[in-house]
Every structure is written in structure tokens, then in C-alpha cells.
Chain A
Amino acid sequence: MSKAALCSDRVLLNDWHVVADLTNLSSDEPFHTRLLGADLTIHSRGRYDKEVVRNDTGTLVKSTKRYGFLWACLGKPERDIVFVPEAEEGDRHLVTGGSIAVRVSGLRAVENFLDMGHFPFVHTGWLGDEPHTEVAPYKVELTAADELVATECQFYQPVASPTAKEGFIVDYVYKVIRPYTVALYKSNPVQKHRLDVITLFVQPVDEDNCVAHPFLCYLKEGIDEAGIRSFMQLIFAQDKPILENQVPKRLPLDPRAETPIRADAVAVLYRRWLRDKSVTYGAIPARM
């Protein structure tokens, strides 16, 4: 990888980001990655202790483990790692969905995660099918906790999840928790009153590259971890070539850079929310 621009957005520098799935770390070999433009090396000290070192300065980076991932913060952590309440429920599988490198800004990856309109075209036969293409109106709001929440999202899906046996209209709730963290809640096909949760922790590698780390909290009934993971990877593999063909790679925050439609209500608010938070890393700032 070429030398990347370093990040100067305080909100990102002082936050925690996933830098590795713990299952990918070997105790023998150092693991190389990059976060917000800074090259990092992860060393294993014994079986459990991990050390994250910045290559440019040789200094130790704050790190911790949670949800099966190794997390790092380049600055001073201003808040804790995102809390996932469903991870505390005993009847759920907690699965890391594989770390998927995507050559696009992580903000584009988050926006794609929030998008229902592409289901029939990108996830044909799984999360959508033509001609069921309509995105019905849904609600989006900024909560008191400064999260963006989209509710009353509905979409017809032929195979909505690894355990779905037939197509049905799936209810979604989307939540943008941090600039590079987004979650979706969808109806479980077996226990229809409960929700499966996928939280996508996006590692901003640099402005034009990211690694998506999905964290899945799925009800155990009728499904094993391998099934959950392979379904997630199937779906994400369908998104990856589309994301890597987005031009430009960074997310434009200028409202006139692209053409939103009503179905993009949550994306429009997401871009505005990023502007309001002065997030510029991985974005093309709006022209004044």
C-alpha cells in the first residue's frame, strides 16, 4: 500500500476502532495493518497479550479486546467501545463475520449497509428480487444519544437469513452509532418477535480503504455459527465489487455530488450528520 494521509479528525482519533479479528492473529507472526493512515504492527506476547505498535513512531498504541476483536485507539479514548446489549443474551451466537478488506472509503461501506434499494439488484435471490423493488417510506431520526435511527423499514426478501425457508417482508431497524459503526436489526425468521443484530465495525484503513468487521448476534435456534458466517460472507462478497466501483472512493458530503431519492433518507441524514461532526477522513468535504 502506498503512503496514506494521516487522520486529523479528533472524533476519529480519540475513538476505538477494530484493527483485527482475534482469530486471525497468530502467536508466532506479527500482524500488519493500518488504521486512519498509520501503519501498525500487532505483536502477540504469549497467547493472550497483544501489543499494537505504530510503525512510524515505534510507540505503543492503546489497545483492548472485546467481542472477539482487537481494538485500538490512536489518541486519547473519549468514550468506551460501542456497547452491544444483545451480546449479553445467552441464547445468541456471537460470531465475527470475517474481516473483509474493501478498496473504498469506510464511509461508503457504512452507507451501503444502510441501503435497502440495492437488495434486488446486488443480492438477487437472497435479500431481494425483481420486481419487488419498491422502498416504502420509513422514518429516520437523530436520537438524544446522537445516533441516527431508521425505523419502519420494510423489504420483501426471498431468503432473508440463513434459516429463512421462504420469502417474507422483513422489518429492519438501522442505527448509525459512530461515523464508522452501523448496526441493523432484522426480524428473526423463527422467533419473529425478536431481532437478529448485525453490527458492522468498519476499520478506516485510510481514506480510500477499509476493512469491514461484521459482528453478528443471532438467535441460536435452528442455526450454527458456520452458517451465520458463510451467509454474511456470501452477502458481503456481493457488495464488495459494487463498492469498489464507486467513483470517487471517498464519500462526497457535498449535497450536489450525487442524486438522492426518498429511499436514501437515512443516507442523506448520515452525510449531514458526518458534516456536523466535522468528519473529513474518508470523505470529500462539502464545498461552501
Chain B
Amino acid sequence: MLDTAKTRWHPIAASYDLPFRHVFHGQLLGREFAVWRADDGYINVWENRCLHRGVRLSIGINDGRELKCQYHGWRYSNRTAGCTYIPAHPADAPARTITNRTFAAVERYGLVWSAEEPQGEVPELPGFAEGELLTLRGIAVNAPADAVAARLRSYRFQPTGQIDGSDAKVTVEAANDFSVALRAVEGSSTTLAVFFVQPVDSNRSVIRGVLEGRAEGAVRMAVLHHHNDRLSKLRDVVEREAVARPAPAPLEPVIERVSPELAEMPEETKHGRKATIRVEVARKWQAADGIAGFELRPIRGLLPTFQPGAHIDVHMPNGLIRQYSITNGPGESESYVIGVKLEKESKGGSICMHETLRQGDVLAISEPRNNFPLRRDAVKTIFIAGGIGITPLIAMAQALHNQNLAFDLHYFAQNEAQLAFPEKTSGLGGALKPHLGLTPEATGAKLREILANYQPGRHLYLCGPGPMLEAARNVATEAGWPEAAVHFEYFKNTNKIDDSSSFEVALARSCVTLKVPAGRTILDVMREAGVDMPSSCEQGACGTCLATVIEGEPDHQDVYLNDAERKSGTKIMTCVSRAKSARLVLDL
């Protein structure tokens, strides 16, 4: 009988067993469950053990979104039961396959239903409307489920309308191994009751009863008392009978093994992007429409000194690495504040930052790197920001403002709600010049107006979406801005990278010559040979992996170098660019 029981739905808890942020210890056919309701209402029924060391998750912490194991703080996500964070290794993303076993869950008739291998649907109770019924308190019985169900057929009770009476006639309307439907009638009062027997183990059960019709106040209490009392008496009888028989052996549920790759201890990741700093998300807030602000505080010690324009690599819980500019003004060294725009076509980076990361989480970040330095010897500095491109420029503008240096901060955005970090920009006074809701044409016209009248000693800093940067750079060139005065930072390299060439790279100072085959990058090949090279975005946008070319002709594929630098042939971004000549000699 218990074999077929695996495929049936059984109640494993009452709805009232899952109050706010509680974890309920359930059991069915010998298998334990950690049952918890997330703040979004979703009911999770999980194998009751952490995959790491087998500690029961029913003693874990339900934070409303994740379940945190008490032993080592591993976090498992609502719904998926995937491990999202392993505190012992804050820089590493947990393997996506570290996922706890989940079981089906349905909430109906004031009960939570589950099954090991469910077939079909939760039993239909005709005439029982949600909200028009009374769920009785579960009564645990130390006896096999079929013995309990058999005894329940002769259960006697009063209909709800005649709860104080004593003459009710009770008839069995339906019955099987795990449930009994009984109708009590006295006078004009009639109540249908359905009792489900939850097979906890081979010799343990819980009687879960549901009555038709709602009862309120004193009547409800009287009805609950009535059934509690009578079911407790029934329990005593069943348990006496069960003790007289030899107890069946406890069921031993099979705990699935973890996948072979998880059984091996993972090696330390050896990528060259180092995330040596641990920070805590001290604050997360909406910095503007679609933009989340994050304040990152060091877990110990002080954060390294940063300069305006610097960015950090953020190693996200999902394993992705993204670059974000530090928006801090000068001297604001207690924490880093970054802004992250939720990208419509996010590949997982901005979604993770927006949806997964929360206040209190620990993140691994790199040291700040500054590949977008700010000159402070300009007569006047023009900043042009498009959307989230404001972030490095906010840091720069605050630096200049602090030194009473002349600047304008032109901030292009769709509308006022999209202007990020108003608490920072408002301190800049009249230097902040928002341009809202402009069409591409109008943007072009505005750029021409801003960039007209180039005068020596001016410097231009651009950051924003690719098309806008292209437009602004062209306008600046047309308006006579020399290349050396135009500084820019792309979010990403949208060029299609052609890595079909193969060539040789000689590292002059290291005295090695390496072959770079098609499909691999100079950076990769150098690292493999043990030549350490810092890198960050690894897509030719951030400028971290810049190398000096001594000989040979680079094949530039980045968006970091400006045209003059490209033409000089003396610099190369080793993460994406290659060689047009058969051989390249680098000063490394």
C-alpha cells in the first residue's frame, strides 16, 4: 500500500503551520521536508537537509526570499532551491548545480499538499469551497496510516449546527486507505467532514480533518474542541491496537547523491581578474527610475584610494563580473557608491544586481582601477553624460567642484525621474545641465551647440551609450576639438571581434615568444605562459590590459584607444586586439 502512496498527494501541513518567515518540519513516508513560505506567498517543500553537510534546513532561517542554513550560512533561493551564496568563499559563485531537491506543493482546503512522485491532482472535495470550510488541528498518531483510516470510519461527531447535541447519526460517504468522508446529521443540521491520514512514516500518521461550512468565534472554538477531544480518544484506541502488533520497520527514504562534479573539491579559480576586497552591501536604493544605487562598505580595514573615473570589477553571486564606476566625491572614502542600470537585454549582470543582491550581502570586488583619468589643468571641462554614463562623471564633477574648477555637466536622459543620484548632482549647482527627452536629432543639435567654440585648454569627457558617444566624438572633431582633449569611456565594446588570425607575440622583457592561434587572445596565451597581466572587462572597453607595442602592426578591435593612439601603433588592448603582422613585440 505504501508503494502506491508515493504517487498520491497527501497533506503534509496545515496552512496555519506556515506563518510569516517560519520553517516547518514536515514528513511524508519517512522523508523529511523543510516547508516554508516566502514573502511572495510561494510555498517551498524541500528535502530537509543542506547539501553541504546534511544539516536540517527546518532549523534554518527564512528571510522571506531565501532559506539560510544555520551551519555555514549557505543560502538557497525561493522556488529553485539553488544555492546562491557560500559565505566561506565570497569571491566564488556557487555552482549552479548546487540545488536542493524540491517537491511539489499545492495549498488547498487549508492544507499544504505534497507527494514524492505525484500523479494526478490533489483530491477534489465537491461542495468544499475555499474559505467556506474549517480546517481542524492535525492529530498525530503513532500507528500506521491504514489502521488510522480504518478506525476513522467509525468516528462519531456532532454536526457543526448541533455541536452540543449527542444524537447525531454519522454515515460513511466515501473511504479509501488514506481518507474517509463522513456525514453527521442531527435534526436539520448536517455537516460533511473529510479526514485525510498523512502517512508520516510506516508507524506514524497525522489525521487532518476538514469540515464543510465556516464557523466563527465561539462556535468555531466549540467545534475545534469537540473534534480535538474525540479524535484524541480515537488516537488512544488506535495506538493501543498498534502497540499490540509488531511495529513495521521505519521507512528509509533514499537521499539522492550529488552530481559527480560537486563531489570533487573545486580548484581555486585562476582567472587573472582579481577580486581581493570583500565589501558588504550597506545600502541599496533606487537612485533613479531603473537605476539601483549600492553603497559598498569594506568588511575590514579601509577601502583603497580611488580617483575620479575609476571603476571596480564586481564579482556577482551568479559568477558574472561587471565593471561599475565609483561615483564617490573626493574624500568620501568610507564606502564606494555605484549605480547600476537595469538593462532591458541584461545577460544576467544588471538583473543580478537589481534582483538578487540585497542589503547585507557580501561581495568580492577588485581594487579600483582608473583607465579614465581626469585632468585638472583644464581651463574649463565639459562633461557629457548619457543615461547611466553619469556615474564616472559624477565623481569627476564633484572633484572639480571641490577645487572650484570650471566645468559643465551635461546630462542627457529621457525624463527627470531618470536622473540618477540627485543627492550628489544637486550639490553641483548651476553646473548641472540636464537635457531631457531629446530625439536623436535634437541630441545631435544640442551636442553641436555644446561643443561649438572650441578653445584651447578645454577638455571634454564623454560617457554614455555607444551611438551617443560616436555622435559626440564626431561633433567634437568637426568643431575642432583635438583628439587629445576628448576623453571617453564606453560601457561595452559592440564591435564584432574577429579572432581568426594567428600570429606570434614576443614579450621583450620576459624573453618569451608565444604563438597566438585563431580563437584565442593575447591575454589568454600570456597568462597560460605565466605572464601576469591585469584585466577587467576583457572586451576591449575598460583599458586595463593595455600593453605597449615595440614592433609589429596591431589589429585594433577595442573601443578604448582613440584614433591617434590607434594610428601611433604603440598601444594594444591585449584582451581583444590582435596583429596584422606575423609578429608583435610587446614591452612586457
Task: Find chain A residues with CB under 8 A from B266 CB.
Answer: 261-262
Residue of B49, B260, B264 touching A247 (CB-CB under 8 A):
B49
Q: Are A133 and B88 in contact (CB under 8 A)?
A: yes
Q: Does A258 contact B (CB under 8 A)?
A: yes
CB of B145, distance to nearest CB on chain A (Å): 23
Contacting residues of chain B (265-311) with chain A, CB-CB under 8 angstroms: 265-266, 268, 278, 280, 299-300
* Best-buried of A247, A257, A263 by chain B (most CB within 10 Å): A247
Given A120-B73, A255-B264, A259-B262, A132 contacting B56 (CB threshold 8 A) = no
Chain A 251-277, CB-CB to B under 8 Å as 1, else 0, gives 010111111111111001000000000
Q: Are A255 and B263 in contact (CB under 8 A)?
A: yes
Bound together, the chains give a CA A117 to CA B73 distance in angstroms of 9
Bound together, the chains give a CA A230 to CA B52 distance in angstroms of 30
Bound together, the chains give a CA A107 to CA B491 distance in angstroms of 53
CB of A129, distance to nearest CB on chain B (Å): 10
Q: Are B88 and A117 in contact (CB under 8 A)?
A: yes
Residue of B55, B70, B300, B362 touching A156 (CB-CB under 8 A):
B300
Task: Find chain B residues with CB under 8 A from A222 CB.
Answer: none
Q: Does B509 contact A (CB under 8 A)?
A: no
Q: Does B344 contact A (CB under 8 A)?
A: no
Task: Find chain A residues with CB under 8 A from B59 CB.
Answer: 241-242, 245
Q: Quick one: closest B residue to A245, CB to CB?
A: B56
Instruction: Give the number of residues in A that approach B within 8 Å (Cβ atoms).
Output: 33
Q: Does B20 contact A (CB under 8 A)?
A: no
Bound together, the chains give a CA A122 to CA B32 distance in angstroms of 23
Q: Are B262 and A122 in contact (CB under 8 A)?
A: no
Q: Does B48 contact A (CB under 8 A)?
A: yes
Task: Find chain B residues with CB under 8 A from A241 CB.
Answer: 59
Q: Does A227 contact B (CB under 8 A)?
A: no
Task: Find chain B residues with CB under 8 A from A254 CB.
Answer: 257
Given A120-B73, A248-B54, A256-B257, A261 contacting B263 (CB threshold 8 A) = no
Q: Does B71 contact A (CB under 8 A)?
A: yes
Q: Does A135 contact B (CB under 8 A)?
A: yes
Q: Are B54 and A264 in contact (CB under 8 A)?
A: no
Q: Are B299 and A131 in contact (CB under 8 A)?
A: yes
Q: Are B52 and A133 in contact (CB under 8 A)?
A: no
Bound together, the chains give a CA A268 to CA B264 distance in angstroms of 9
Contacting residues of chain B (348-373) with chain A, CB-CB under 8 angstroms: 360, 362
Contacting residues of chain A (205-253) with chain B, CB-CB under 8 angstroms: 241-242, 245-248, 252
Residue of B55, B86, B264 touching A242 (CB-CB under 8 A):
B55
Bound together, the chains give a CA A132 to CA B87 distance in angstroms of 9
Q: Does B245 contact A (CB under 8 A)?
A: no
Given A130-B73, A131-B362, A259 contacting B268 (CB threshold 8 A) = no
CB of A200, distance to nearest CB on chain B (Å): 18
Residue of B87, B263, B299 touching A259 (CB-CB under 8 A):
B263
Chain B 48-91, CB-CB to A under 8 Å as 1, else 0, gives 11011111100100000000011111000000000000111110
Q: Which 6 pairs between the two chains have the least Cβ-Cβ distance?
A: A133-B87, A256-B257, A263-B88, A255-B263, A117-B88, A135-B88
